[in-house]
Amino acid sequence: MYKKNVLLSALLCISTQCASDVTPWLEIKPSYFFFNKSPMKNIYNKGGFELQASASVPCCHYLDFYGSIGCRHVSGHALNTCEKTSLTVVPGDIGLKPVFSFHDYFYYFFAIGPRFLYFQQKNDSPYVDRIIKGGSVGLFFNTGFNVLLFEHFLLGIFGEYSYEKATVCPKKPNVYSNGSLQIGGLAFGLSLGYAF
């Protein structure tokens, strides 16, 4: 029992020492989102706006725990009848984020992990359900660069890919659906943050 306590104490001291020269980050990340798979790419061909708030907390040198929550909204038209449709997605991410610094003020990072999401689609067409909603679990991967300004403020650019498989079950009779759609895609944007 004594050896286990000594080993646990040593590991705790090492992890505290590793994390002592890195700090938590809070970021606001506005971006432009677009789909990369049909039929979503054809329905919402102009893409849309996405806003995320994220936090990174160091667990050891070069590695952070990462979490974010966001909201994405896109508008488009039905393929055959051109009625308006819109899709709102609320993603929540957790994962790991390696961070590499160079020249003391520049940081490269990438993050990867599961994505939990809620979605709601509104349709103006009388032929399909007016509101379709649900939840799903997917994956995300993002990468980018940050620059530390004025001691605590971060400015950066990032790109993100998300794989979000949603199951759609129409309630209206005689409406065909193959059941699942890829509602993820690509996002590119800026990040504004604060380093503690």
Q: Is there a domain that residue 103 lies in?
A: yes
Q: Is there a domain that residue 184 lies in?
A: yes
CATH number at residue 116: 2.40.160.20
* Residues of the chain scoring pLDDT < 70: 1-22, 170, 173-179
Q: Is there a domain that residue 105 lies in?
A: yes
What is residue 146's predicted lDDT score, i.e. its pLDDT? 96
3-state helix, strand, coil in the chain (%, to 5): 10, 65, 25
- 177: domain range? 22-195
Q: Is there a domain that residue 169 lies in?
A: yes
Q: Is there a domain that residue 188 lies in?
A: yes
Q: Is there a domain that residue 64 lies in?
A: yes
What is residue 82's predicted lDDT score, i.e. its pLDDT? 85
What is residue 69's predicted lDDT score, i.e. its pLDDT? 98
Give tens-digit pLDDT for 144-159. 999 999 889 999 999 9
Task: State pTM to two decimals.
Answer: 0.83
Q: In which element (H, E) is residue 48 found?
A: strand 48-60
Query: For the chain, what is the domain count?
Result: 1
Going by C-alpha positions, the residue among 114, 110, 112, 190 that lies closest to residue 143 is 110
Q: Is there a domain that residue 6 lies in?
A: no
Q: Is there a domain that residue 65 lies in?
A: yes
Residue type, 111: A
Give tens-digit pLDDT for 107-119. 999 999 999 999 9
**Residues counted in the chain:** 196
